[in-house]
């Protein structure tokens, strides 16, 4: 109930305009978002790199409404690649197809992504296409298989959400194509017709697909904070003599920093997804939906702030 409320809120633009002006919400967002500018994101990247943790940078923004916004997002993505190259940080890029114009014109989105990948190839930087709500999955995978994978190979990867019933079929097709896959549970509100309503099915699918990806995948990424699933991946890899260099764990900026550092200390490759930008509201709402305790934290901060103000 709480989860679906936050996921509904994530789509309400008018509420964003209100929340954006709220100091507490902005401060709370700063826990999950590295800042509003690329400079802020670079500072966060350097801090993570100093702990021997890699980064995937994400300029927040999705579902653009004009072609100009889409080309603006493309140019911003190219600028991120240039900065990664110039500064020499250990980072790659994550992008969303709706930010590139998928809702407006599929050809425009494809052209924007191709422009980004051309620059990525020039710099030798990997680009991940994030996966969005289920209505975009087929179009994302079609574009990936038909236009991106053949042309850019190991420089481009995609994401599979284990909450979707189709995940197994999609993973098999991607394994057969030697594609690079990030496995996640899925962050969007989906109907039971396309998604497993029970969390245990989402988790069981994650566990079983992670095994196939460990055995046959092309440097798979396991993106979760779920310690039971992380332990499952580690145990399976050990039991099947799959070296730690053949895969990576990925976690979100500001979530389980202790676990990020522990995994790295244990010798696993760890990458943190670092979002930044002014369009942080839908991303923040999805993070709140994932963990009700975050809401309590936010309310607690509000109470402390109010109390503090009265006391001073
Ligand atoms: C690197 C990365 C990339 C991602 N890319 C995508 C994508 O492209 N498409 C997509 O749909 N989803 C993506 N996600 C989000 C993902 O689908 C989940 O919504 C998210 O990771 C939470 O699920 P979980 O696997 O951590 O498991 P959960 O079962 O939700 O959580 C496991 C435990 O992790 C901790 N935890 C989880 N979330 C939070 C949080 N927000 N704050 C504090 N603690 C938390 C809690 O202690 C919880 O008990 C990505 C996630 C990561 C880590």
Q: Give the CATH number for residue 173.
A: 3.20.20.220
Ligand 1 centre distance from Cα of residue 225 (Å): 6
Ligand 1 centre distance from Cα of residue 251 (Å): 7
Beta-bridge partners for 249 = 222, 270
In a domain, 73, yes or no: yes
130 lines ligand 1 (CB under 6 A): yes
Instruction: Write b or e for each residue in 27-57: b if 16 or more Cβ atoms lie within 10 A of its Cβ, otherwise e.
Output: ebbeebbbbbebebbbebbeebbeeebbbbb
pLDDT for the residue numbered 306: 52
Ligand 1 centre distance from Cα of residue 118 (Å): 30
pLDDT for the residue numbered 68: 97
The residue nearest atom 44 of ligand 1, judged by CA position, is 255
Site to probe by mutation for ligand 1, drawn from 291, 293, 298 as the one with most ligand atoms within 8 Å of Cβ, is: 291
Ligand 1 centre distance from Cα of residue 224 (Å): 5
Residue numbers annotated as active site: 130, 182
Triad 4, 31, 247: Cα angle to 5°:
80
Count of structural domains within the chain: 1
In a domain, 132, yes or no: yes
Q: pTM for this one?
A: 0.92
Percent helix, strand and coil across the chain, each rounded to 5? 60, 15, 25
pLDDT for the residue numbered 310: 38
273 lines ligand 1 (CB under 6 A): yes
CA-closest candidate to residue 181, choices 204, 206, 203, 200: 206
94 lines ligand 1 (CB under 6 A): no
Ligand 1 centre distance from Cα of residue 222 (Å): 11
CA-closest candidate to residue 148, choices 137, 158, 136: 158
Residue 138 is part of which domain span?
54-79+91-99+106-250
pLDDT for the residue numbered 309: 43
pLDDT for the residue numbered 291: 77
In a domain, 241, yes or no: yes
Rounded Cα–Cα distance for residues 306 and 17 (Å): 23
Cβ count near 85 (within 10 Å): 16
In a domain, 181, yes or no: yes
Label residue 267 left, alpha or beta by phi (over 0 means left) and psi (-120 to 50 means alpha): left
Tokens at 57, concatenated: 């940078």
In a domain, 58, yes or no: yes
Question: CB of 249 within 8 A of CB of 233?
Answer: yes
Task: Give the residue ranges of the chain where pLDDT is below 70.
Answer: 1-2, 13-21, 24, 297-312
287 lines ligand 1 (CB under 6 A): yes
CA-closest candidate to residue 219, choices 193, 252, 190, 182: 182
CA–chain centroid gap for 145, Å, is 20
In a domain, 276, yes or no: no
133 lines ligand 1 (CB under 6 A): no
pLDDT for the residue numbered 299: 63
Rounded Cα–Cα distance for residues 77 and 100 (Å): 10
Ligand 1 atom having least distance to the Cα of 225: 26
Rounded Cα–Cα distance for residues 290 and 298 (Å): 14
Site to probe by mutation for ligand 1, drawn from 170, 184, 229, 280 as the one with most ligand atoms within 8 Å of Cβ, is: 184
In a domain, 260, yes or no: no
Site to probe by mutation for ligand 1, drawn from 185, 209, 227 as the one with most ligand atoms within 8 Å of Cβ, is: 185
Rounded Cα–Cα distance for residues 142 and 173 (Å): 11
In a domain, 263, yes or no: no
């Amino acid at each position: 109930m709480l989860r679906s409320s936050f996921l509904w809120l994530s789509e309400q633009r008018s509420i964003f305009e209100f929340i954006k002006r709220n100091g507490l919400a902005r401060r709370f967002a700063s826990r999950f978002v590295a800042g509003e500018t690329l400079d802020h994101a670079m500072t966060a990247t350097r801090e993570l790199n100093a702990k021997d943790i890699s980064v995937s940078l994400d300029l927040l923004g999705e579902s653009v409404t004009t072609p100009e916004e889409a080309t603006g997002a493309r140019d911003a993505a190219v600028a991120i690649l240039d900065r990664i190259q110039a500064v020499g940080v250990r980072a790659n890029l994550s992008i969303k197809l709706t930010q590139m114009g998928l809702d407006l014109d599929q050809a425009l989105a494809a052209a924007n992504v191709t422009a980004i990948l051309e620059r990525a190839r020039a710099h030798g930087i990997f680009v991940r296409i994030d996966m969005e709500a289920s209505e975009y999955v087929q179009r994302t995978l079609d574009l990936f298989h038909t236009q991106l994978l053949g042309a850019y190979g190991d420089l481009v990867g995609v994401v599979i959400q284990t909450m979707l019933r189709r995940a197994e079929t999609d993973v098999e097709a991607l394994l057969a194509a030697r594609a690079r896959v990030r496995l996640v549970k899925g962050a969007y509100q989906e109907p039971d017709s396309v998604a497993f309503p029970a969390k245990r099915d989402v988790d069981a699918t994650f566990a079983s697909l992670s095994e196939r990806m460990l055995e046959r995948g092309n440097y798979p990424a396991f993106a979760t904070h779920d310690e039971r699933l992380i332990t499952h991946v580690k145990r399976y890899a050990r039991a099947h003599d799959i070296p730690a260099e053949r895969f990576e764990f990925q976690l979100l900026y500001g979530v389980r920093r202790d676990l990020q550092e522990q995994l790295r200390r244990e010798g696993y490759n760890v990458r943190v997804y670092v979002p930044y930008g002014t369009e942080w509201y839908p991303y923040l709402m999805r993070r709140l939906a994932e963990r009700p305790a975050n809401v309590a934290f936010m309310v607690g901060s509000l109470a402390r702030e109010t109390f503090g103000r009265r006391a001073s």
